[in-house]
Amino acid sequence: MPSDLERAMETLITVFHRYAGTEGNSTTLCRKELRLLMETELSSFLKSQKDPATIDKIMRDLDANGDGEVNFEEFVALVVGLSVACEQCYQLHLKSKPQKK
């Protein structure tokens, strides 16, 4: 039986490949595929962004090799960055809670 972390890794891979290749290369996300993935899987994050060019900025930031597409390794960088930000919010939330005696 897989652990929670193993299931999380499997989910990352599955979600990436659900969107990759619907428009060409089956191992990368083009801008349109990245937009669809983010609108579907990260809709709360996108709604919190005030800039309508968020997807374009994310695409530029993620595309480390400059090929105009996001491979799995580049995609994982997005997930890691968002996870770190969420964990920082979680820590702030814990610090703001009144301490029980």
pLDDT in tens, 37-94: 988 998 887 777 767 788 888 888 888 888 889 999 999 998 998 888 878 877 887 7
pLDDT for 88: 84
| Between residues 34 and 95, the one the model is more confident about | 34
Token readout for 89 is 């919010």
Q: Return d(Cα 25, Cα 101) in angstroms, integer.
A: 57
pLDDT for 33: 94
101 has pLDDT over 70: no
E strand spans, 3-87: 28-29, 70-71
17 has pLDDT over 80: yes
**Type of residue numbered 8:** A
- Are 45 and 82 within 8 A, CB to CB? yes
78 contact partners, CB below 8 Å, separation of at least 6: 58, 62, 70
